[in-house]
Amino acid sequence: MAAAVGDRWDQPGLGDWDVRALVGHTSRALLTVETYLARPAAAVDVPTAVEYFRKAKVAAAGPDVTARGRDAGTALGADPVSAVTEIVGRVVPLVDAQSGTELVTTIAGGMRLEDYLPTRTFELAVHTADLATALDVPPRVPPTAATQALEIVAGLAVEDGLAGPLLLASTGRPGLPAGWTVL
């Protein structure tokens, strides 16, 4: 999707981010996997992707996220598309070489890699849809990524007692209230 940006890197992306910062933040979904694989955990503190989002909620709501997105966008350099391509080319083979049972230290605590990866798929799916929206193209999410992301959304909604409004909105009933979120 970064290749579709063209010359629109400075246009609004999401919230306080321009498109460059949104792409930078999105690339962090891959970069954190690389970073966390280098930081083994001693134990599993966070058993599921849903629990990860529960525990990471406070960190994700802070102003540091906005700054990290901007910094990540800047770090993409003069050729962001090539930078993203290089990140993908480095991180995907790294993940492919793992069994999934590796313990990694995340911002929420120790997790098995196989339980952490769906959180990254979620971030990639959601923020790629955000980027598509910013670029005024249909937000198409690949089936496997969509399934993983929607399973997390459903799990969070159920745990917070928000399944009813989500079900109603998803089936064409009156929409969700402004600001409604499972995160």
We report the CATH number of the domain holding residue 161 as: 1.20.120
Q: Is residue 110 part of a domain?
A: yes
Range of the domain at 150: 2-170
Strand partners, 106: 109
Indicate the pLDDT class of residue 95, thresholds 50, 70 and 90.
very high
Q: Is residue 181 part of a domain?
A: no
The span from the CA of 44 to the CA of 42, in Å, is 7
Q: What 3-state DSSP class applies to 16?
A: coil
In this structure, the number of other CB atoms found within 10 A of the CB of residue 145 comes to 18
Q: Is residue 178 part of a domain?
A: no
Q: What is the pLDDT of residue 97?
A: 98
Q: For the stretch 24-53, what's the b/e string if a residue is b when 16 or more beta carbons lie within 10 angstroms of its beta carbon? A: bbbbbbbbbbeebbeeebeeebbebbbbbb
| Tokens read off for 143 | 């089936």
Q: What is the pLDDT of residue 163?
A: 94
Q: Is residue 98 part of a domain?
A: yes
Q: What is the CA radius of gyration of the chain?
A: 17
Q: Is residue 14 part of a domain?
A: yes
The residue-averaged pLDDT of 21-44 equals 97
Q: What is the pLDDT of residue 175?
A: 84
**How many domains is the chain built from?**
1
pTM of the model: 0.93
13: part of which helix (H) or strand (E)? strand 12-14
Q: Is residue 128 part of a domain?
A: yes
Q: Is residue 182 part of a domain?
A: no
